[in-house]
Amino acid sequence: MNERLGKTVLHVEGLSKVYGEGPTRLEALKPTTFDAVAGEVVAILGPSGSGKSTLLTIAGLINPPTAGSLTLNGKLAIKDGQPVANLSTLRRQELGYVFQRSNLIPFLNGEENVRLALEIDGVSTREARERARTLLDSLGMSGRMTAMPAKLSGGEQQRVAIARAMIHQPSVVLADEPTAALDSSRGRQVMELFRDSAHEHGAAVLVVTHDHRTLDLVDRVLEMEDGVLAEQDVAARTT
């Protein structure tokens, strides 16, 4: 059990994003307010171009919003569209990212890819190795830790990427179409890993997905359309 479970770790209020100006002006994210709590997996659905990646990159502090505020694990990061904290520190401490392609460092093996995230933060190699192995083990990668990324299957690469995103126990994990390159059974396994790790490590996981068949594994479904995010009712989820 993680002490963070149930705590609001992401609070977004009136967050919006406008790209361009004049005739090219596009309000990709309309003012949006929502919370996510540690331990839950929130799926974000919606057609291409609806603003899902915009929302995720803003929540991940890698894309500045036009307006609004954002609080991560109780720390106010952005207020009235402006940074009010050291964003790179918050990124390192509070956030984990998983992308469509695993983006592993090709010349480091799986364990080294995961370990690096800790060593950058000053954790000793010995401790980092221990923690990386334990986590990879729990993700079903015990026999594959020292394989180079090129030797791993797509599903295995995403497991390493999930371990890398979670090794520093972030409060929020953002995953943008992490199962898009996987077949449906691998995709389902990855969603199961998110569910289990969200609970075990006390993180809120926001995952953009197109696969309706895995929605039984998530706690909440948000639907994005034309920059508007709406909570989808649970009963409608399986249809």
Ligand X SMILES: Nc1ncnc2c1ncn2[C@@H]1O[C@H](COP(=O)(O)OP(=O)(O)O)[C@@H](O)[C@H]1O
Residues that bind ligand X in the complex, under the rule CB under 6 A: 19-20, 26, 28, 46, 48-54
Closest residue (Cβ) to Mg ion?
Answer: 53
Restricting to residues 41-100, name those near Mg ion by CB under 5 A: 53
Tokens for 6, please give them.
Answer: 């149930």
CB of 228 to ligand X, least distance (A): 12
DSSP 8-state class, residue 212 = G
Q: Return d(Cα 127, Cα 123) in angstroms, integer.
A: 7
The CA distance from 203 to 142, in Å, is 23
Q: Which of residues 9-28 bind Mg ion (CB under 5 A)?
A: none
Listed residue (21, 86, 87, 36) closest to 58, CA to CA: 87
Cβ nearer to ligand X, comparing 17 with 144? 17
- CB of 103: closest distance to ligand X in angstroms? 17
192 or 225: whose CB is closer to ligand X? 225
Contact 46, 224 (CB under 8 A): yes
Query: By C-alpha distance, which of 210, 235, 226 is closest to 45?
Result: 210
Tokens of 99: 């992308």
CB 48, min distance to Mg ion, A: 7
Question: Judged by CB, which is closer to ligand X: 48, or 185?
Answer: 48
Identity of the residue, 53 or 214, whose beta carbon is nearer to Mg ion in the bound complex: 53
Closest approach of Mg ion to the CB of residue 228, in Å: 16
3 state DSSP class of 118: helix
Is the separation of the CB atoms in 56 and 220 below 8 Å? no
Q: Which does 189 bind (CB under 5 to 8 A by kind): ligand X, Mg ion, none?
A: none
Q: What's the min distance (Å) between Cβ of 77 and ligand X? A: 20
How far apart are alpha carbons 46 and 29 in whole angstroms?
13
Q: Which does residue 113 touch among Mg ion, ligand X, none (CB within 5 to 8 A, set by kind)? A: none
Q: Which residues bind Mg ion (CB under 5 A)?
A: 53
